[in-house]
Amino acid sequence: GQNIDQPTEMTATEGAIVQINCTYQTSGFNGLFWYQQHAGEAPTFLSYNVLDGLEEKGRFSSFLSRSKGYSYLLLKELQMKDSASYLCAVMDSNYQLIWGAGTKLIIKP
């Protein structure tokens, strides 16, 4: 079967750095997406990785290792507005997105 694993919840301090991990087992791989979702709102696109390595976009970076079936999202200089759920999704061989359950990130002052 297809499976995406990410921690249920994480807590971090304002101004700090946090890394949210995602491991996956899917039938085929056509890229990995990270989305941010604030409570009661729709997911918003953060990043896309299809090749191994690190993609940096401002305070957010995303890393992929296809051989390990592993990705992480790195958030730097955390702000209170970063409190949200972070969803990892893999595009499988049929170009369908397989979603993790999301990691709820709590930022404390």
Task: List binders of other proteins among 25-64 (CB under 8 A).
Answer: 30-31, 33, 35, 40-45, 48, 50
Residue 96 in contact with other proteins, rule: CB under 8 A: yes
Q: Strand pairing of 9-13 and 103-108?
A: parallel
Closer of 17 and 101 to other proteins (Cβ): 101
Which of 58, 67, 81, 95 lies at the binding interface for other proteins (CB under 8 A)?
Answer: 95
With H, G, I as helix, E, B as strand and everything else as coil, classify residue 25. strand
Least separation in angstroms between residue 69's CB and other proteins is 17
The single-letter DSSP state of residue 58 is T
Closer of 53 and 109 to other proteins (Cβ): 53
Phi, psi angles (nearest 5°) of residue 5: -115, 130
Size of the site for other proteins (CB under 8 A): 25
Least separation in angstroms between residue 89's CB and other proteins is 7
Residue 97 in contact with other proteins, rule: CB under 8 A: yes
Instruction: Name the E strands within the chain.
Output: 3-5, 9-13, 18-25, 32-37, 44-49, 53-57, 60-65, 70-75, 84-91, 97-99, 103-108
